[in-house]
Chains A and B, each alone.
Chain A
Amino acid sequence: MEFSGRKRKIHTSPHAEHYAHALQFYEQPPTENICLSEFETFAVDRVKLLKTVENLGLSYVKMSDDYNKKLNNEAKVLNFPYRPDSDHISHFILRLAYCQTEDLRRWFIQQEVDLFRYRFNDLGREQKLEFLHRNNLQYNAISDKEKVALKDQLISSSYGLSGVTIEHQDFYKVPFQDALDLVRARKVYLQAGYVYIPHQDIITIVLNDFRTKLSKALALTARSLPAVHSDERLQPLLNHLSHAYVGQDYSFQKNVGKISLEQIDSLSGKSYPLCMRQLHQAVRENHHLRHGGRMQYGLFLKGIGLSLEQALQFWKSEFIRGKVDADKFDKAYAYSIRHMFGKEGKRTDYTPYSCMKVILSNPPSQGDHHGCPFRHSDPELLKQKLQFYKVSPSGIEQVGESNFSLNHPNQYFIESQRVLSGGKDIKREMETPQRLQENSAGSTAAREAANASQDLAGMTDLDSIFQDP
Chain B
Amino acid sequence: MPTSSEYDPDSLPDLLPLYYRRLFPFSQYYRWLYYGGVQKNYFQNREFSFTLKDDIYVRYQSFSSQAELEKEIQKMNPYKIDIGAVYSHKPNQHNTVKSGTFHALEKELVFDIDMTDYDDVRTCCSAADICSKCWTLMTIAIRILDRALRDDFGFQHLLWVYSGRRGVHCWVCDEAARKLSVAARSAVAEYLTLVKGGEETVKKVVLTDPIHPFIRKSLDVVEKYFTDYAHEQAILGHNKSVDKVLALVPEEVRQVLQKDFQSEKTPEKRWDLIKAKASMKKGDDKKQQYFQEEIMLQYCYPRLDVNVSKGVNHLLKSPFSVHPKTGRISVPIDLKELDKFDPFAVPTISLICEELDQPRTGEKESEDKKEKENENNATERRKIRDYKRTSLAKYVKYFDQFLDGIACTWKGELLKKSDLQKQF
Could you list which residues of chain A lie within 8 angstroms of chain B, going by C-beta atoms? 1, 153, 155-159, 176-177, 180-181, 183-186, 189-194, 278, 282, 292, 328, 331-332, 362-371, 373, 376-378, 380-382, 456-458, 460-461, 464-465, 467
Excluding A278-B200, A461-B311, A464-B307, 16 further A-B contacts by CB distance (< 8 Å) are A1-B176, A156-B212, A156-B216, A176-B184, A176-B187, A180-B187, A193-B152, A194-B154, A362-B306, A364-B198, A365-B303, A366-B117, A366-B119, A368-B198, A376-B201, A456-B186
The docked-state distance in angstroms from the alpha carbon of A368 to that of B180 is: 28
Q: Please, which residue of chain B has its CB at the minimum distance from the CB of A463?
A: B307
List the A side residues contacting B308 at CB < 8 Å.
467
Q: State which residues 180-230 of B face A: CB under 8 Å.
A: 180-184, 186-188, 190-191, 195-203, 209-216
Tell me whether A193 and B198 are in contact (CB under 8 A): no
List the B side residues contacting A362 at CB < 8 Å.
306-307
List the B side residues contacting A153 at CB < 8 Å.
213
List the A side residues contacting B196 at CB < 8 Å.
363, 365
Q: Which of A158, A292, A376 contacts B197 (CB 8 A)?
A: A376
Q: Which of A177, A181, A189, A465 contacts B315 (CB 8 A)?
A: A465
Type the 1/0 row for B311-330, where 1 means its CB is closer than 8 Å to any CB of A: 10111000000000000000
Tell me whether A155 and B190 are in contact (CB under 8 A): no
Give the shortest distance, in Å, between B238 (CB) and chain A (any CB).
20
Q: Please, which residue of chain A has its CB at the minimum distance from the CB of B305?
A: A365
Q: Which of A193, A194, A370, A464 contacts B311 (CB 8 A)?
A: A464
Tell me whether B210 and A184 are in contact (CB under 8 A): no
Tell me whether B200 and A373 are in contact (CB under 8 A): yes
The docked-state distance in angstroms from the alpha carbon of A381 to that of B204 is: 13
B153 within 8 Å of A (CB atoms): yes
Q: Which of A186, A328, A381 contacts B214 (CB 8 A)?
A: A186
The docked-state distance in angstroms from the alpha carbon of A268 to that of B233 is: 40
* Most chain A beta carbons < 10 A, residue from B116, B151, B209, B212: B212
List the A side residues contacting B387 at CB < 8 Å.
none
Tell me whether B203 and A378 are in contact (CB under 8 A): yes
Chain B, interface size: which category? 35 or more
- Those 9 A-B pairs whose CB atoms lie nearest each other, nearest first: A193-B154, A364-B198, A464-B311, A368-B198, A184-B187, A192-B154, A180-B187, A377-B200, A1-B176
B90 within 8 Å of A (CB atoms): no
Tell me whether B310 and A371 are in contact (CB under 8 A): no
List the B side residues contacting A373 at CB < 8 Å.
200
Type the 1/0 row for B140-170, where 1 means its CB is closer than 8 Å to any CB of A: 0000000000011111000000000000000
The docked-state distance in angstroms from the alpha carbon of A184 to that of B193 is: 9
B55 within 8 Å of A (CB atoms): yes
Q: State which residues 39-57 of B face A: CB under 8 Å.
A: 55-57
Give the shortest distance, in Å, between A297 (CB) and chain B (any CB).
14
* Most chain A beta carbons < 10 A, residue from B119, B151, B184, B195: B184
Q: Which of B151, B184, B202, B307 contacts A191 (CB 8 A)?
A: B151
List the A side residues contacting B315 at CB < 8 Å.
465, 467
Tell me whether A1 and B154 are in contact (CB under 8 A): yes
Tell me whether A184 and B190 are in contact (CB under 8 A): yes
A-B contact pairs, 16 of them (CB 8 A): A1-B175, A184-B187, A185-B190, A186-B191, A190-B153, A191-B154, A194-B154, A292-B307, A362-B306, A365-B196, A366-B119, A366-B198, A369-B200, A376-B198, A378-B202, A467-B315
Give the shortest distance, in Å, between A393 (CB) and chain B (any CB).
21
The docked-state distance in angstroms from the alpha carbon of A461 to that of B189 is: 15
Give the shortest distance, in Å, between A273 (CB) and chain B (any CB).
15
Q: Please, which residue of chain B has its CB at the minimum distance from the CB of A187?
A: B212
Task: Tell me the number of A-to-B contacts counted with CB atoms below 8 Å.
Answer: 143
Q: Please, which residue of chain B has its CB at the minimum distance from the CB of A332?
A: B55
The docked-state distance in angstroms from the alpha carbon of A383 to that of B313 is: 40
Give the shortest distance, in Å, between A322 (CB) and chain B (any CB).
13
List the B side residues contacting A183 at CB < 8 Å.
187-188, 191
The docked-state distance in angstroms from the alpha carbon of A46 to that of B303 is: 44
Q: Please, which residue of chain B has its CB at the minimum distance from the CB of A381?
A: B200
The docked-state distance in angstroms from the alpha carbon of A176 to that of B203 is: 30
Q: Which of B176, B214, B215 contacts A190 (CB 8 A)?
A: B214
List the B side residues contacting A292 at CB < 8 Å.
307
B299 within 8 Å of A (CB atoms): no
List the B side residues contacting A378 at CB < 8 Å.
197, 200-203
Q: Which of A1, A177, A328 contacts B174 (CB 8 A)?
A: A1
Q: Please, which residue of chain A has its CB at the minimum distance from the CB of B210?
A: A156
B301 within 8 Å of A (CB atoms): no
Tell me whether A328 and B55 are in contact (CB under 8 A): yes
B260 within 8 Å of A (CB atoms): no
List the B side residues contacting A192 at CB < 8 Å.
151-154
B120 within 8 Å of A (CB atoms): yes
The docked-state distance in angstroms from the alpha carbon of A168 to that of B209 is: 23
List the B side residues contacting A186 at CB < 8 Å.
191, 212, 214-215
Give the shortest distance, in Å, between A141 (CB) and chain B (any CB).
20
The docked-state distance in angstroms from the alpha carbon of A181 to that of B182 is: 13
Give the shortest distance, in Å, between B344 (CB) and chain A (any CB).
24
The docked-state distance in angstroms from the alpha carbon of A370 to that of B118 is: 18
List the A side residues contacting B211 at CB < 8 Å.
156
The docked-state distance in angstroms from the alpha carbon of A303 to that of B203 is: 34
The docked-state distance in angstroms from the alpha carbon of A352 to that of B198 is: 21
Tell me whether A364 and B197 are in contact (CB under 8 A): yes
List the A side residues contacting B313 at CB < 8 Å.
464-465
* Most chain A beta carbons < 10 A, residue from B55, B118, B183: B183
Give the shortest distance, in Å, between B16 (CB) and chain A (any CB).
20
